Structures are given as structure tokens and as C-alpha cells.
């Protein structure tokens, strides 16, 4: 049964939870509906039933428009990295440093109002690569791949609060509950490898504000939900029974369930759901074996591990994530989102941003170089951003502990890989970095552009829900042509 819109139009894919054929059930990967759960739902064993790939909910689908990029790695720096201290130098702040002023009015939050002073960046800047990209000097590794990046300084968002801004960046809607971009992309393009989830999330140690709604499938069918791979513990919750239950006992219990279910099904021949549920038990049993194999890093050589900074501080944690991201996209995962943070440096920005950059700089540069070496960069879209930028000024928060507040009116994001206008910086902010002034676009246009880079048309990638066709950009938007090569 398809979900029909008012004019008889149908959604791209069948609303598969209403379907009950065994084939479809086997593609239901997600673990934990949006929950704070982890899961992978990898089903290497399913390689045998090839027919399933052809029509399952995660079956690959053609792009809606020609594009180079076929997959996406989204580096989400949650907390709001400061553009002023990373990729958008503001010499004017040297002059204004510690000048005080007052700001008031009912359009100001408590954070923005009252006594403020300008703060210069504690970081020195340089121009990297042949393109002369602006970068703070502490991005020493990223500078090596500067010419592969396309910086964008024109994006604006609507919210100054973390969870609502995160929801907007991830899902288009500030209030959560809508599908994340990864869910939309997987819905639109399916996944190349039917043995892995289409949309994988690698969260930080702690979940971001707003929690798992940041990788929700929203109103899209459950298959398109982001599957978080837990950094510690069981990668999928309850993948295994409590201690003391042998595999043999598991098998016997499953056999008993199967027998009970078969007897029951004989009395309810019209009830289609039964066979789907029976099939799920077999699939789950095999997944217990297969899941750990996918996460195994022992086949990577030392040079690769060193390149990503795996095994040394402060790069180990994010280095592992970047390497895993490469492994996942190489095996056909459509969309991988990595979290790092919190970049919410209200105080001591020199120290805080300093440590944050040193934790991600080498791993990110390694990821780009590695994909390039493997010939995958041209077909992979990499996005780096936070949920908003930071202010050129600070509230009076105590002497020398300079930091910056939230700023929805200016930020820097960059893209690399398939189809992006590499080696260019697009848009500009004003002389203090307070707001974008050139090529200013709402985040919805960024979403439309990212979809376009992946061969998707935001106006076609829609889903009928609650009375209207919904889309990532919410109400439609325009491609930012300058970001595309």
C-alpha cells in the first residue's frame, strides 16, 4: 500500500511498515526507533537473497538529477564552532578588542543584551594552499588539503538555542521530529549495500542536545532512521542475550518460537504480518554473528592508523570515527554523520577551540586524503559545519576568560569532494563577523544545495504527511550555484 497524497500522487517508496512480505522485512535495519539506542543492522548474511535488494525499502534508486557525489560524510561540530577563530579572520577585532558597548531591545535574548565587549581572536591566521584559503594556523593538517575545500560564509539560521539550531541544521525544522537529511538522502537514493544500514551516525561520548531526534526518520518509514553505532558497549542494544545463554540455547528457543508460530499461522492464513515477524527472528539470530565483523579495524595497516591519529591523543577518538566513516562509505553506506563537540566556547575560547581543533584537524585531513588516494573523494560529499557561528563580542563573563556567544547570523561551513566548487570561498561576513553580508542564504538553501550535490531535487524528494507534501527545506529553497563546480 502506498501512501497517497490528495491528488493521487504517491510517495517515492512504499510505506513499508504496512507491507508484510518477508523480503521487505529483511531490509529493516534500524535499531531503536529514534531512541537513544545504538544499533547497526547489518545483515551480511542477506547477500544470498539478492532479489530482496531490488525492491526493498533500502534498494538503490537513481539520482533525480545528474551529480557526481553518491554518498555523504557529514562532520557535525555540535555546539557552534566560531567562524572568527577558524576560517573567517577578522583583523578589525584587533582594533576593537575589549571595547565595551551596550545592547538592548526586546529582540535580544538575555545572552545577547547588556554590557558587551569585542573580543579579538587568539589565533593567528594564514592563507593555505594555492587557493589561499583563510585558516587559523592550528589547522596544520587541514591546510594540506585546503585546495579541496569550498568554504561558505553566507549561511544563516533561525535559532540561537542549541537543540533547535541542531534540529534545523539536521532536519530543516527547528522543533524536531522531522526526518534528518541522512534519512531523506537514504529515502531518495537507497543504499548500495543491502548488508549495512543506509544512514549511520557516529555520536560523541555524550549525545548532543536534542538527542537522537537529530538523526530521526521523522515521518519517513522506520528504515530510514539513522543507526547510531555506539562508541562503547554493544554497538546495537540487546544484540546478545544476557550472560549465560548459550548460542545453542538461543537456537533451540528460536526453533520453539518458530514451531509455535507455524501452528498459529495455520489458523490465521489471512493475517499477513505473521510471516514477516517469523522472518525477523531468523534475521536477528544471524545478525548477532555478523555485526561485530563490520566494526573490526584489524585489517587496517599501521600507516593508515597513524595517518588518522588512531592510537595517540588527542586524535584517537575522532580518528577512529573518521576511519570508520571511510570504511562504511567504502562498503556502500549512503550517509555517515560524525559528531564532535562541544564547540560551545563561551569562555576561554583560546584553550577550548585550541583543544577541539587539535582533536579533529589531523583525522579530518586524513579522511580527505585517504578518500582521494582511494579515488573516492570525487564521488563523496564531505560537509563540515556546526549549528550556528559565534559572536564577535562577549558578555562580561569574568576578566580574561574570553569567549564568544551564539550567532545565528554568521557561520562558516565547508564542503569537499564530489561536485563542490573546491578552492573557493563563497560569501562573506561583515568586518567583525557579526553577520553574513554577501551571498547570504537561509540554511534551507544549503539543504537544497547539498541534496543537489547528491543528485536529489528537494522539490521532488517529498513525502506526503499530515495534510501536505513535506520536504527537507520545509517550504522549498534555491540551489546556491556558487558552491557547485
Q: 129's torsion region: left (phi>0), alpha (psi -120 to 50) or beta?
A: left
Q: State whether the Cα torsion 203-208-211-217 is positive or negative.
A: negative
Nearest distance from C-beta of residue 417 to another protein, angstroms: 26
In the list 96, 222, 437, 484, the residue contacting another protein (rule: CB under 8 A) is: 222
Query: Is residue 354 at the binding interface for another protein, with CB under 8 A as the rule?
Result: yes
Among 209, 214, 421, 449, binds another protein (CB under 8 A): 209
Work out whether 437 is an interface residue with another protein (CB under 8 A).
no
Candidate list 48, 50, 102, 106; residue touching another protein; CB under 8 A:
106
The three three-digit cell numbers of residue 254, written as one number: 528460536
Q: What does the alpha-carbon distance between residue 44 and residue 55 come to, in Å, rounded to a whole number?
A: 17
Q: How many CB atoms lie within 10 A of CB 445?
A: 22
Name 110's Cβ contacts closer than 8 Å, sequence gap at least 6.
none
Stretch that binds another protein, among 108-116, 297-305, 322-330, 428-436 (CB under 8 A): 108-116
Site for another protein in 145-204 (CB under 8 A): 160-164, 175-177, 204
Task: Give the separation between CA 485 and CA 236, rounded to whole angstroms.
Answer: 39
Residue from the set 356, 381, 385, 420 that interacts with another protein by CB under 8 A: 356
Pick the binder of another protein from 271, 297, 374, 378 (CB under 8 A): 271
Among 211, 292, 332, 423, contact with another protein (rule: CB under 8 A): 211
Least distance in Å: CB of 10 to another protein?
11
Q: How far is the CB of 299 from another protein (least distance, A)?
A: 27
* Alpha helix (H) residue ranges in 76-135: 92-96
At 448 the three-state DSSP class reads helix
Contact region with another protein (CB under 8 A), list: 87-95, 179-187, 303-311, 458-466: 458-466
Applying CB under 8 A, the span of 329-337, 353-361, 414-422, 435-443 interacting with another protein comes to 353-361
Minimum gap (Å) between residue 372 Cβ and another protein: 28
Q: Does 104 bind another protein (CB under 8 A)?
A: no
Question: Which of 172, 309, 341, 392 contacts another protein by CB under 8 A?
Answer: 341
Does residue 293 sit in helix, strand or coil? helix
Applying CB under 8 A, the span of 85-93, 235-243, 410-418, 438-446 interacting with another protein comes to 235-243
- 36 near another protein (CB under 8 A): yes
Q: Is position 115 an interface residue for another protein (rule: CB under 8 A)?
A: no
Residue 41 CB neighbour total at 10 angstroms:
22
Distances (CA, A) of 40 to 159, 199, 239, 448: 32, 10, 9, 28
Q: Is 79 in the site for another protein (CB under 8 A)?
A: yes
Q: Does 304 bind another protein (CB under 8 A)?
A: no
Is 238 a binder of another protein (CB under 8 A)?
A: yes
| Min dist. Cβ of residue 288 to another protein (A) | 8
Q: Residues 210, 309, 319, 386: which binds another protein (CB under 8 A)? A: 210
Residue 101 lies near another protein (rule: CB under 8 A)? no
**Minimal CA–CA distance to 234: which of 226, 243, 225?**
243
Measured from the Cβ of residue 26, the count of other Cβ atoms closer than 10 Å reads: 22
- 311: contact with another protein by CB under 8 A: no
Nearest Cα neighbor of 83 from 340, 411, 383, 386 is 411
The phi-psi region of residue 124 (left if phi > 0; otherwise alpha if psi is between -120 and 50; otherwise beta) is beta
Residue 334 in contact with another protein, rule: CB under 8 A: no
How many residues does this entry show for the chain? 485
Backbone torsions φ then ψ of 395, nearest 5 degrees: -70, 170
Here the cell at position 213 is: 531526534
By CB under 8 A, is residue 439 in contact with another protein? no
Site for another protein in 374-413 (CB under 8 A): 396-401, 403, 406
Q: Which residues contact 184 (CB under 8 A, 6 or more apart)?
A: 220, 224, 451, 456, 461, 472
Q: Considering the complex, state which of residue 233 and residue 375 has its C-beta at the smaller distance from another protein.
A: 233
- The distance of closest approach from Cβ of residue 48 to another protein in the complex, given in angstroms and rounded to an integer, is 17
- Can you tell me the distance from the alpha carbon of 323 to that of 366, in angstroms, rounded to the nearest whole number? 9
Q: Please pick, from the candidates 77, 276, 328, 367, the single residue that binds another protein as defined by CB under 8 A.
A: 276
| Contacting residue, 128, 157, 352, 377, with another protein by CB under 8 A | 352
| C-alpha cell, 196 | 549495512
**Greatest CA separation for the chain:** 83
Amino acid at each position: 500500500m502506498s501512501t497517497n497524497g490528495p491528488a493521487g500522487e504517491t510517495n517515492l517508496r512504499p510505506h513499508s511498515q504496512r507491507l508484510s512480505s518477508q523480503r521487505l522485512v529483511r531490509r529493516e535495519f534500524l535499531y531503536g526507533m529514534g531512541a537513544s539506542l545504538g544499533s547497526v543492522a547489518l545483515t551480511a548474511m542477506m547477500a544470498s537473497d539478492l532479489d530482496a535488494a531490488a525492491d526493498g525499502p533500502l534498494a538503490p534508486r537513481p539520482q533525480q538529477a545528474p551529480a557526481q557525489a553518491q554518498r555523504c560524510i557529514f562532520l557535525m561540530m555540535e555546539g557552534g564552532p566560531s567562524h572568527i577563530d577558524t576560517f573567517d579572520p577578522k583583523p578589525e577585532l584587533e582594533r576593537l578588542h575589549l571595547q565595551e558597548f551596550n545592547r538592548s531591545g526586546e529582540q535580544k535574548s538575555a545572552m545577547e543584551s547588556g554590557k558587551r565587549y569585542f573580543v579579538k581572536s587568539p589565533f593567528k591566521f594564514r592563507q593555505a594552499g594555492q587557493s589561499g584559503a583563510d585558516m587559523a594556523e592550528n589547522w596544520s593538517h587541514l591546510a594540506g588539503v585546503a585546495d579541496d575545500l569550498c568554504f561558505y560564509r553566507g549561511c544563516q539560521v533561525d535559532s540561537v538555542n542549541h537543540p533547535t539550531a541542531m534540529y534545523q541544521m539536521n532536519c530543516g525544522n527547528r522543533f524536531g521530529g522531522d526526518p534528518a537529511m541522512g534519512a531523506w538522502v537514504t529515502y531518495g537514493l537507497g543504499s548500495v549495500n543491502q548488508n549495512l544500514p543506509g544512514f549511520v551516525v557516529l555520536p560523541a561520548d555524550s549525545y548532543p542536545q536534542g538527542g537522537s531526534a537529530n538523526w530521526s526518520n521523522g515521518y519517513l518509514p522506520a528504515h530510514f532512521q539513522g543507526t547510531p553505532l555506539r562508541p562503547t558497549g554493544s554497538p546495537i542494544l540487546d544484540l546478545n542475550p544476557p550472560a549465560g545463554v548459550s548460542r545453542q540455547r538461543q537456537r533451540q528457543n528460536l526453533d520453539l518460537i518458530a514451531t509455535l508460530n507455524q501452528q498459529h499461522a495455520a489458523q490465521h492464513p489471512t493475517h499477513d504480518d505473521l510471516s514477516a515477524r517469523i522472518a525477523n527472528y531468523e534475521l536477528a539470530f544471524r545478525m548477532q554473528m555478523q555485526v561485530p565483523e563490520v566494526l573490526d579495524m584489524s585489517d587496517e595497516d599501521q600507516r593508515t592508523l597513524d595517518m588518522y591519529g588512531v592510537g595517540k591523543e588527542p586524535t584517537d577518538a575522532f580518528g577512529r570515527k573518521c576511519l570508520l566513516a571511510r570504511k562504511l562509505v567504502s562498503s556502500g553506506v549512503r550517509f555517515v554523520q560524525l559528531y564532535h563537540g562541544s564547540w560551545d566556547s563561551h569562555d576561554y575560547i583560546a584553550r577550548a577551540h585550541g583543544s577541539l581543533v587539535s582533536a579533529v584537524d589531523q583525522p579530518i585531513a586524513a579522511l580527505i586524503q585517504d578518500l582521494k588516494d582511494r579515488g573516492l573523494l570525487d564521488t563523496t560529499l564531505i560537509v563540515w559545519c556546526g549549528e550556528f557561528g559565534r559572536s564577535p563580542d562577549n558578555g562580561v563573563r569574568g576578566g580574561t576568560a574570553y569567549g564568544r556567544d551564539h550567532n545565528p547570523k554568521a557561520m562558516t561551513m565547508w564542503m569537499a569532494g564530489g561536485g563542490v566548487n573546491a578552492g573557493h570561498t563563497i560569501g562573506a561576513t561583515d568586518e567583525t563577523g557579526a553577520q553574513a553580508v554577501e551571498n547570504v542564504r537561509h540554511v534551507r538553501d544549503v539543504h537544497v544545495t547539498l541534496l543537489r550535490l547528491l543528485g536529489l531535487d528537494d522539490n521532488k524528494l517529498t513525502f506526503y504527511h499530515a495534510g501536505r507534501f513535506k520536504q527537507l527545506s520545509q517550504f522549498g529553497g534555491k540551489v546556491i550555484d556558487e558552491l557547485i563546480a
